[in-house]
Amino acid sequence: MGIVTDGLKLQAYAKINLSLDVLRQREDGYHEVRMVMQTIQLHDRIDLFPKKEPGIDIHTNLSFLPVNENNLMFRAAKLLIDEFGLEGGVRMRLQKIIPVSAGMAGGSSDAAAVLDGMNRLFSLGLSREELRKRGLRLGADVPFCLMRGAALSEGIGERLSPLPGMPPCWIVIAKPAFSISTRFVYENLHVGRLPRSAHPDVDAVISALNAGEIPALSKNMGNILETVSCREHPEIRAIKERMLSLGALGTLMSGSGPSVFGLFSEKSAAEHCRRDFRFGEGRRLAGQAFLTEPWLPKAAKGRKGRMAKYSRRLYE
């Protein structure tokens, strides 16, 4: 097989953290985590084309995004171009929808999509596991973004164990106008000083996913990084409280923030919440608001009944 000369259209999906615990800070400075991540339908769009001339060209709808080696998409493409000695280069068009610097792995997901796209575009023959190993060199979230679905993430994020995906529900995401430095959050976490009660019950979230129970999932969601982010930015807690007042079953900050998501069992209530953050009282708290759903593997789309239990092979 040769190069796919007419290019590829890719989708890079966002993630949310259903539970995020930090166990300790390692001697090398990295933090050891135990967290549950879930892919959602909200996604960026990437068009990927080969070109005869060497180089990597990136065009995006957001003028403030870097289009050089500071962009993970650029680094993902360069990694495979250099490794395989590919002739020519690539041109990419990014339609950015996932909020930037939001704790939703937008940049990592874009990089994962480019790795997968480059593999197909140039017929490199890399397996999913081989792609994930290369993705880890770009960032701890990239292997999960290649995997998609739901997973328990351990170590520094490199050890992934597939989990049943979320049952059917509606997800409202609200992103405040400010951003939070992930480095700042971890540097100010001081996990050794926190009480046991600050650590979320990750196992309870896994049990809720296995049972396909949104109420139990909503009740047990937790994110230890809120101890820092909510202290520095009270708006995050205010967004959570606003969502609960509008009918959310549970709310949580994703990653290091500042995005907050709420889970709803009814679309009408979820849409009312989204509109409140776009046009109503909630607008003073959030600059962006989205309504989305859990991501489903293609093999599961269209199935009737509960969507939670998928076999391990769907995530390979």
Query: Three-state DSSP class for 216?
Result: helix
First to last CA, the chain: 23
Query: Residue 45: is it exposed, middle or buried by C-beta count within 10 angstroms (0-12/13-18/19+)?
Result: middle
Residues 93-104: b if buried by 16+ CB within 10 A, e if exposed: bbebbbbebbbb
Assess contact for 174 and 57: CB atoms under 8 A: no
Alpha carbons 316 and 131: distance in angstroms, whole number: 11
The sign of the CA dihedral 171, 175, 179, 180 is negative
Residue 294 DSSP label = B
Tell me whether the omega of the peptide bond preceding residue 258 falls within 30 degrees of 0, making it cis: yes
Catalytic residue numbers read 15, 141
Q: Maximum CA pair distance of the chain? A: 58
Assess contact for 239 and 279: CB atoms under 8 A: no
- Amino acid at the residue 305: G
